[in-house]
Chain A
Amino acid sequence: MRRKSLLTLVLLAACAGVSVRDHVLLPAAVLAYESLHVEIDRGIADGVADGDIDQASADVLLELADHLGVALASGDRAALVSAPWATLEVFAKRGIQDMIDDGDISPGVGALLMSRVANFRDTMAQLLLRVSLPASGVPVAINQGKP
């Protein structure tokens, strides 16, 4: 019986990579992005207010932010690849800094929010890495095995 349990554990672990990215990493990213989206929007608004970006560029950025949210929620890996997190990250940080500057949050709270941005960046890197390279290291087509 014990041997069967061990065998089952090993066999379950064989698909651990796929399972974790689909059932742990992605949902965590979706949840975190709900707040990050607000920070990105704030950063974009601050950029417009300060004259650093025009309204047309802001509209494009807002659309990209929505696009990333949809991509995460749907788990569409092709959409994730095309979502420019690096660009949006700049505005997430700017939004947090704007909240600090306006006194909406303390610098300590801002630091915690910044650490979420960093964790989300690492998560996105992992998700994007797995789009093209599964745990076996063999490149596969995007959305392979998915409807």
Chain B
Amino acid sequence: MNDKNTVDDFADEITELFDLKAQFLELFKDEAIAMRDDLVGAADKVADYSVEQATELAALVGQPGFAKAVRAARDNVLLKSGLRLTAQADASDARFVGLVHGALSLGARALSSGLV
């Protein structure tokens, strides 16, 4: 390994370590991808519950109070969607807190190194 390569490698590492913009963006990217995946998962669960309610409704056709059952199934899907989304939103909020913490840590590290 020659000296030039060693210097270049070291310079690259320093650049990468203290390129706050790149690191912040990387953090944002990771969190955004995780949030997207969670949202898709929540949507899938709501869709499954909708199918479940529709299946129950199909078995009740012609029974007394069927109209009430239709309304209850609609309400159930809405309530369940709200509950799922709430759980998802809590997770997103928690992620954002973690994200801010991570970004602050990066900034603090750069500041303590005297490079910013």
Contacts and interface: CB of A to CB of B under 8 A. Distances in A.
Given A24-B82, A106-B60, A135-B94, A13 B35 contact: yes
Q: Which of A6, A25, A29, A109 has the most CB of B within 10 A?
A: A109
A6 B29 contact: yes
A112 B32 CA distance: 37
Q: Which of A3, A13, A119, A122 has the most CB of B within 10 A?
A: A13
Interface residues of B, number: 41
Contacts of B25: 3, 6-7
Contact of A105 (B65, B78, B85): B65
Contacts of A82: none
A31 B28 contact: no
B25 to A, nearest CB: 6
A21 interface: yes
B75 interface: yes
